[in-house]
């Protein structure tokens, strides 16, 4: 017998007549349709715990281009500050940069050290920016003659936590 043109299924063998309808009613399509939101949720969940790029891989691309000493006094006591510029030649933007500073006297002897993480500091990819880190001063100003500044740690900007 002939199958009517408007029929979705053959009334005798129950076979779908339209390929689109055959695809939409196939069980694999239902599995695919329900798994897409689940996969999307997994990707979003994974992005919350992404650790980002490892700073140690890019540490040679972050350099302090110049720095100078400044001295000050605040209510809690005297300070020694390091003011300078930092250059990032990597393609990664960094946040929460941790500075390590070695202070030397006129004879080249290390007299003091300081390490400070700046939570508000943002270093753009392929950019240069200024920085300032302050430390309590333990010796007279005249003892502080030279400083060497290193960036010892930073976090990828894409990291949420």
Q: Domains (ranges, CATH) in the chain?
A: 1-49 (no CATH), 55-156 (2.60.40)
Place of tokens 């992005």: 47
pLDDT at 11: 80
Q: How does pLDDT run along the chain (161 residues), one tens digit per residue? A: 787 777 777 888 877 777 777 677 778 888 988 999 999 999 888 878 888 899 999 999 999 999 999 999 999 899 999 999 999 999 999 999 999 999 999 999 999 999 999 888 899 999 999 999 999 999 999 999 999 999 999 999 988 77
pLDDT at 124: 95
Number of H helices, E strands in the chain: 3, 6
| Cα-Cα-Cα-Cα dihedral sign, residues 7, 8, 11, 12 | positive
- Structure tokens given for 78: 């005297």
| CA–CA distance, 29 with 31 (Å, rounded to integer) | 5
pLDDT at 22: 67
pLDDT at 153: 94
Q: How many CA atoms lie within 13 A of 38 on its CB side?
A: 5
| CA–CA distance, 49 with 31 (Å, rounded to integer) | 28
pLDDT at 136: 94
pLDDT at 30: 85
Cβ atoms of 82 and 149 within 8 Å: the answer is yes
| Cα-Cα-Cα-Cα dihedral sign, residues 83, 84, 89, 91 | positive
Place of tokens 């009334």: 11
pTM, entire model: 0.71
Classify 55 in phi/psi space as left (phi over 0), alpha (psi -120 to 50) or beta.
alpha
């Amino acid at each position: 017998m002939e199958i009517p043109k408007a029929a979705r299924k053959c009334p005798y063998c129950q076979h779908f007549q339209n390929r689109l309808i055959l695809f939409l009613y196939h069980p694999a399509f239902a599995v695919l349709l329900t798994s897409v939101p689940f996969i999307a949720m997994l990707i979003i969940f994974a992005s919350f715990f992404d650790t980002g790029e490892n700073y140690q891989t890019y540490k040679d691309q972050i350099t302090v281009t110049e720095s100078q000493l400044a001295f000050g006094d605040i209510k809690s006591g005297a300070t020694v500050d390091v003011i300078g510029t930092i250059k990032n030649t990597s393609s990664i933007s960094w946040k929460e940069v941790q500075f390590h500073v070695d202070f030397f006297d006129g004879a080249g002897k290390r007299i003091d050290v300081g390490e400070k993480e700046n939570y508000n500091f943002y270093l753009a990819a392929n950019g240069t920016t200024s920085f300032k880190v302050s430390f309590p001063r333990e010796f007279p100003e005249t003892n502080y003659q030279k400083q060497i500044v290193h960036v010892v740690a930073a976090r990828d900007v894409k990291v949420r936590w």
